[in-house]
Chain A
Amino acid sequence: MNSNLLRPLVQAIFVVFPALASAADISWPSFMWGEPNNAPVMKLLQEKFEQENPGSSVKAVTVPLAVFWDKQFADVASGNSPDVVTLFDPDVRAYIEADLLELLDSYLAAAGIAIDRLVPTERLAQKGGKTYAIPMQINARALFYNEKLLKDAGVAPPRNVEEMLAAIRKLRKPDAQQFGYATISKPGAANLVYIEIMPIVVGFGGGFFKDGKPSANAPETIAALRFIKTLYDDQLIPRGMDTQTYRQLFVQGKVGMYATGSFFASVVATGDKETYANLRAEPLPLPSGRTMSITAFLAVPKAAKNKDLAAKLLMRLLKDDMQAAIVTMGKTHPGRLGVIPASFVQENPWFRAFEQATLTARSYAPEGAEQYGNEIVKIVAEHVEAMLFNGVSAEETGATLQKALADFVATKKK
């Protein structure tokens, strides 16, 4: 074959099958490469790792969030695993149960990192005392609020449920399309519905699972559902709006309060300088004093091509300088405890609420049934949607959901 034709062909093969390009390429496809808070941190890690490991490179592949989980699962299931996978709370359990992840204990020991110095939700990445994933960051939920909007409405930051509801009502201005609070009010994506309601449910002291048993009809859970239903029925939250849209409303100064993770500060900072200047945060003013968290875990699949190098990359992330970068550049709590730079908290006092919440936050994965998280999330979201959109009462929702979850658990015991 003509060499003029051969060269582009070979190049094309390397483009299509990047794994052939170099044995020392760590493939790390992630939606985080495209996120304003995470991308700079990941690029810094990439830069440092490549400097410290000549001949090795980290392949940054940006995969849009909308397709990321499906793609990652398809890659792993088809035996075409990347070297690093990103997993949230329920998924990390499912992957561990399916024996898909490489053990990281020896790498952690070599790096001198003790497990008890990692965030409490690290327990999700452990089985039989062995560690299969490391926490990249944890997003415990606290209440962000726009101080200016609250002041203009003559409202103080709420300290309990009653004050919170009163503040939400006072901030609602239909003519100005202004809302006191925003949370999920669009059906469909079960995960989003679940993630958005969980801070409130946990805040009321409730939950849908406790010690592996359904607890949807617990009085605290029903009280939380009643609170969420009131917000929807009284049109206090934007209806039919997806998360991205009402987050934008907050950025534009149209929403007074929103319970989410500290990552959101980066979104506000890049979106609107004025709103960022007025951004404050407090722990959720709900009875239990606890909140819910999402942890982004990183792991090395057993089928990865560069397991050793990938594990070393993860350990590099746990070093002091990268942990500090996660806080200062990413505005999120990193996987290790006690590494928050004091100067950062001084400059960003809102971060205190998140630092505090991290220590006691409960994972959003159903407690004791984490490996079935996605199925449970679907069942819960369907019942919550029926409550919000089909007029079912909170009490009835608790009762029917309890039965549905009990039936589900029974199928898993067979």
Chain B
Amino acid sequence: MGDAPRRALFPLGRSARLALTPYLFLLPSFVALAVVFFYPMLRAVVLSVYSNTVGGGLGQFVGLDQYGAVLSSAYFPRVLRTSVLWTAGNVVFVWGIGLATALMLDRRFPGRAIARALFILPWAIPYVAAALIWGWMFDYEFGVLNYLVRATGLSSQKINFLLACPDALISLTGVSIWKLFPLGTVMFLAGLQTIPAEYYDAAKVDGAGPLQSFWYITLPGLRNVSIMLTLLITIWTFGRAFTIIFLLTEGGPAGCTENIVIRSYLEAFKFFHIGTASAIGVIVLVISLVFSVAYLAFAHRKAEANG
């Protein structure tokens, strides 16, 4: 037996086996992705062209009728507007606060490492925990924010953080920004470290002040990071804006914080309209895909530019 030549498991030549090896390593990930990602996505597309049905199996084939019904519905412009406002608020403030904190944390000062860790903290807190904490802080009767507002004399009246429109949308966007700005900080900090110190020295020699240095050196130096961050936050906040809103207001008051993702959930689980919910999901997917393609194109271009 020891002298017998070993039979290859696959009747392939060595070069073919070598060529296949990387794909075999990728196979487990591909299978996992296919099961938990591609199949549900494909299933949503299929369900979106069938009528709403509660039981297992598909309803009646209706083509693009579900899309027509969603796009012409009274709620669609409202929920889309809320999604756009939510996304825009997140992008602008995560960018702004992220940049401001990164500039601050880029300077040398005692306790900088601790300060950096503290600024990252919101990012590490799970969404559900963050929503519950903020829910108590926003509470009208017993919340600490209303207590502080009155104790510091900022207002004699309590603030309806989650009980009025647009206050609720502003409050929820604030929570989301608080959760996400550390990502901006980290990305900008990394970006700041790629700008050569000589540029600032040369600018100083030329008589440039801090504002001019910021405008002509820092901002252009962070251009790539800014574009990446904007696209990432757009993709994340547009298509995945669910947990905070659902836990704090469930789309209320009076639909004020109901965005396209929450509507999809309501259609599926509250109204039992699986087809309609799938059509909304596919619409979200298409919109997110536009930004994803832009992101990938930009990342590809950047990789090519870096050789």
Contact = CB atoms under 8 A, between A and B. Distances in A.
A375 interface: yes
A98 B163 contact: no
Contacts of B266: 378
B55 A187 contact: no
A2 interface: no
Given A187-B162, A239-B141, A240-B140, A76 B269 contact: no
Interface in B251-292: 251-256, 266, 269-272, 274
A73 B272 contact: yes
A187 B272 contact: no
Contact of B271 (A177, A375, A381): A375
A303 interface: yes
A166 interface: no
B50 to A, nearest CB: 13
Interface in A166-181: 177
B70 interface: no
- What size tier do the contact residues of chain A reach? 35 or more
Nearest to A75: B56
Nearest to B273: A375
Looking at A99, A240, A302, A407, the one whose CB has the most chain B CB atoms below 10 A away is A240
Interface residues of B, number: 32
Contacts of B249: 187-188
A189 interface: yes
Contacts of B53: 98
B307 interface: no
Contacts, number: 103
A329 interface: no
B57 interface: yes
A18 interface: no
Interface in A288-309: 302-303
A76 B274 CA distance: 12
A100 B55 CA distance: 7
Given A76-B55, A238-B141, A240-B141, A186 B251 contact: no
A197 B270 CA distance: 19
Given A73-B269, A187-B252, A383-B254, A389 B160 contact: yes
B139 A240 contact: yes
A382 interface: yes
B272 A385 contact: no
B162 A95 contact: no
Interface string B35-65: 0000000000000000001111100000000
A390 B55 contact: no
B165 A77 contact: no
B250 interface: yes
Nearest to B53: A98
A188 B272 contact: no
A347 interface: no
A371 to B, nearest CB: 10
A189 B250 contact: yes
A357 B134 CA distance: 40
B163 A239 contact: yes
A407 B55 CA distance: 27
Nearest to B69: A411
A240 B248 CA distance: 11
A238 B140 CA distance: 9
A98 B53 CA distance: 7
A79 B253 contact: no
Nearest to A414: B69
B54 A187 contact: no
Contacts of A239: 140-141, 163
A112 B97 CA distance: 71
A386 interface: yes
A78 interface: yes
A79 B141 contact: no
Contacts of B149: none
A187 B56 contact: no
Contacts of A100: 54-55
Contacts of A95: 54
Interface string B133-145: 0000011111000
Contacts of A74: 269
A79 B270 contact: no
B164 interface: yes
Nearest to A238: B141
Given A187-B162, A240-B140, A303-B55, A388 B253 contact: yes
A337 interface: no
Contact of B254 (A76, A302, A386): A386
A303 B54 contact: no
A241 to B, nearest CB: 6
B168 interface: yes
A69 interface: yes
Nearest to B167: A389
A403 B138 CA distance: 34
Central interface residue in A79, A95, A385, by most chain B CB within 10 Å: A385
Interface in A54-109: 69-70, 73-74, 76-79, 94-95, 98-100
Nearest to B272: A94
A79 B57 contact: yes
Contacts of B274: 77
| 8 closest A-B pairs by CB | A187-B252, A79-B56, A187-B253, A188-B250, A240-B140, A386-B254, A98-B54, A389-B253
Interface of B: 53-57, 74, 138-142, 160, 162-165, 168, 248-256, 266, 269-272, 274
Interface of A: 69-70, 73-74, 76-79, 94-95, 98-100, 177, 185-191, 238-241, 302-303, 374-375, 378, 381-383, 385-386, 388-390, 407
Given A188-B250, A382-B255, A389-B253, 15 more contacts: A73-B269, A77-B55, A99-B55, A177-B142, A187-B256, A191-B270, A238-B141, A239-B163, A240-B139, A302-B55, A374-B270, A385-B252, A385-B255, A386-B254, A407-B74
7 contacts: A186-B163, A187-B250, A187-B256, A238-B141, A374-B270, A388-B253, A389-B253
